[in-house]
Amino acid sequence: MSVLVEHFDVFVGGFWLTFQLCVLAAIGALILGTIVAVMRISPVPPLRWIGTAYVTVFRNCPLTIVFFFAAFGLPALGSNADFLRIPGLSSIFSRLGIDLPYFRFAIIALSVYTAAFVCEAIRSGINAVPPGQAEAARAIGLTFAQNLRLVVLPQAWKSAIVPLGSALIAMIKNSALAGFFGLTGDLSNSGTNLTSAAGEPIIPVFIGIGIGFLIMTVPFGLFLDRIEKRRAVAVR
């Protein structure tokens, strides 16, 4: 286990980069997942179809496929963006192939994938809101957007916080794949480099990687358990 002490700075650096990746991806997933959840309950049929298609595709697609297209598909699309004739859109895809480092591609992959599960967690919270709340909001003249913003979503977040936390914990563990698709310096990539380049024994290195992920997930899980117990007491 001396490898953990000798290369402590490598593990700390990898932990910090992975932590930043998870925080930024969680923010992106929460924003995108909320938007998709609103689309799924929208009174406009095309928006509902788009939201349903998004969840169906990404919830049933392996994360490795999403990482692959984010890490290799977007740069290829950016380098061949001349086929896009929409003003402004081709320049955006060109920037994807030139300006973005793999750290941002990892954020995109994790955010897009996790947003599908965030959407379903929020939608379950919306379904837990008593129908009379939305009906009363419509009765006093609130629009669909006002109804969501002022009445439904604030109550839905309270019901969805535990499944949302479970989705984010899964996202933290899924971030271990980022190092295998070009992200250098994260926790999993740093451990792989220690075993391959430095020749360190694999078992202590992966124990160190596991400890790093446990440091991120266990406190978050305990926090969610505490919230769940407080909600259970409040319901009684």
What one-character-per-residue DSSP string does 43-73 give?
SSHHHHHHHHHHHHHHHSS-HHHHHHIIIII
pLDDT of residue 188: 79
Distances (CA, A) of 52 to 32, 45, 119, 134: 14, 10, 10, 22
Q: Give me 210's structure tokens.
A: 């596991």
Nearest CA-CA partner of 5 in 188, 179, 172, 200: 200
pLDDT of residue 60: 92
Contact indicator for 113, 63 with CB cutoff of 8 Å: yes
pLDDT of residue 99: 46
CA Rg, the chain, in Å?
A: 21
pLDDT of residue 144: 77
pLDDT of residue 136: 81
pTM > 0.85 = no
Q: Which residues of the chain have pLDDT under 70?
A: 1, 3-5, 75-100, 196-200, 231-236
Distance CA 217, CA 210 (A): 10
pLDDT of residue 226: 83
Distance CA 149, CA 172 (A): 29
pLDDT of residue 149: 78
Q: Give me 99's structure tokens.
A: 């300006």
